[in-house]
Amino acid sequence: MKIGINASFARKASSGIGQVTTNFLKKLAVSNSKFQISKNEKLEFVLYLEEDLPEDIKLPENFEKRIFLPFWKRDDLVRKILWEKYYLPKKARRDGCDVFFSLYQCPTILPAGIKHLMLVHDIVPKLFPEYLNNSRKKIYWSLTEKAIKRADKLLAVSVRTEKDLIRHLGIKAEDVSVNYNDCDKIYKSKISQAKSREILRKYKLKSGYILAGGGMEVRKNVEGVIRAYKYLVELNKKARFIKEMPVLAIYGKLLPQLAPLALDAEKLVRELNLTRRVKLLDRTPQADMPALFANALFFAYPSRYEGFGIPVLEAMSIGMPVVTSKTTSLPEVGLDSILYCDPDDIDDIAMVMKNILVNPELRAVLARRSKERSGYFSWDRFVDKTLNVIKNL
């Protein structure tokens, strides 16, 4: 059996889909041999790429790579459509693929005779039409929606995404199943004191700050954290519930030019007179993130919508207390190991944050529970389930 895989996002390893892609490939490379179809038939894999794989992904003999670009080389939606919808299916047919696995939702529709399994992370453009703010995005999502409906089988990264597919795209329940991903292994390792000191120096921080971020998209609700923090700063001046309010550190690329889709965090911090209390870290390399999590008092992530919520799992894997939304997929990830708030209620966000700030015993319990809960998620299970679905297509 020859299995084609769209591994394009391996070139963007720090993104959520990039993390899923690279970690899937790493685990697949070492575990695929146990999924032999029969004595006479083994699995062969063809990886379709826009750039070569990162050096730390080592492939065995039953893997091949196809690296190509269309005539339109610019990295934009035109190239994505050409690569995913037109070039990719032709290459898969030419290579004789029996099954094709798309590691993310995309416009790919395979020729007759090739079974198609697609992993769907979310359907944000369907639920938030404001993301479709130009004709190229509208065309891309329209093509993607058609491809989702044409796939032979869908995997969803959460029960929430599974329900969204059934409710909003009319997918039959028997055509979709849940397959939880994990986060990168760097969040599973212990952070040395030397690494902590290095990262704290780099970002000019002292241990014990409040950490927020994960993206400046409006739906990520960093604005809610900033406004809740302002509320707590003013409340602490009157009530003195803690000796000193910790700094709020926010990671994530600042893209005010994308407004109204992105928060202008710099402007909001200035308007709220918080420039001395809020540290905007901008884009942070993934290698720095474990230490940034580990040295925080807690992580605040009241996102309004997530297909899964990898930043929450990253913080949990470090053993961080987490405040997040009681909506969409996030309670699936955290269960009773983290605290929840209403993302649209600034007072509620603030009060949950205050509860963690004033209660060191609660922080200790949450740190232990979040670490334990994070162990439920596994790349081994993710790969095993994917291959089992492929075998049964």
My answer on whether 87 and 167 are in the same domain is: yes
My answer on whether 245 and 107 are in the same domain is: no
Q: How far apart are CA 251 and CA 217, in angstroms?
A: 12
3-state SS, residue 65: strand
Kindly report, residue by residue over 66-77, the tens digit of the pLDDT. Answer: 999 999 999 999
Residue 191: CATH number of its domain: 3.40.50.2000
Kindly report, residue by residue over 257-269, the tens digit of the pLDDT. Answer: 555 688 989 999 9
Kindly tell me if the per-residue pLDDT of 42 is higher than 90. no
Q: How far apart are CA 4 and CA 391, in angstroms?
A: 13
Eight-class DSSP state of 129: G
Kindly report, residue by residue over 192-202, the tens digit of the pLDDT. Answer: 999 999 999 99
Provide, rounded to the nearest whole percent, the portion of the chain with pLDDT above 70.
96
The residue count for the chain: 393
Kindly tell me if the per-residue pLDDT of 31 is higher than 90. no
- Average of per-residue pLDDT across 297-324: 97
Print the domain residue range for 139: 2-182+378-391
pLDDT of residue 196: 97
My answer on whether 234 and 382 are in the same domain is: no
My answer on whether 210 and 259 are in the same domain is: yes
pLDDT of residue 84: 98
pLDDT of residue 294: 97
- Average of per-residue pLDDT across 107-132: 96
Q: Which of 329, 367, 319, 341 is nearest to 225 (CA)?
A: 341
3-state SS, residue 323: strand
My answer on whether 90 and 196 are in the same domain is: no
Kindly tell me if the per-residue pLDDT of 314 is higher than 60. yes
My answer on whether 194 and 72 are in the same domain is: no
My answer on whether 130 and 275 are in the same domain is: no
3-state SS, residue 17: helix
Amino acid (1-letter code) at residue 52 = D
Amino acid (1-letter code) at residue 385 = K
Q: How far apart are CA 114 and CA 134, in angstroms?
A: 33
Kindly report, residue by residue over 135-189, the tens digit of the pLDDT. Answer: 999 999 999 999 999 999 999 999 999 999 999 999 999 999 999 999 999 999 9
pLDDT of residue 14: 87
My answer on whether 223 and 366 are in the same domain is: yes
- Average of per-residue pLDDT across 113-131: 96
My answer on whether 294 and 269 are in the same domain is: yes
Kindly tell me if the per-residue pLDDT of 255 is higher than 80. no
Non-local (6+) Cβ contacts of 285 within 8 A are 14
My answer on whether 82 and 22 are in the same domain is: yes
Q: How far apart are CA 175 and CA 116, in angstroms?
A: 12
The mean pLDDT of the chain is 95
Q: How many domains does the chain have?
A: 2
My answer on whether 205 and 232 are in the same domain is: yes
Q: Which of 244, 247, 233 is nearest to 203 (CA)?
A: 247
pLDDT of residue 35: 67
My answer on whether 289 and 172 are in the same domain is: no
CB 307 within 8 A of CB 158: yes
Return phi, psi of residue 358, to 5°. Answer: -95, 0
Nearest-Å Rg of the Cα atoms of the chain is: 22
Kindly report, residue by residue over 265-310, the tens digit of the pLDDT. Answer: 999 999 999 999 999 998 899 999 999 999 999 999 999 999 999 9
pLDDT of residue 32: 75
Q: Which of 293, 301, 374 is nearest to 333 (CA)?
A: 374
CB 19 within 8 A of CB 6: no
Q: Which DSSP string corresponds to 189-248?
A: SPPPHHHHHHHHHHHT--SSEEEEES--BGGG-HHHHHHHHHHHHHHHHHH-SSSSPPPE
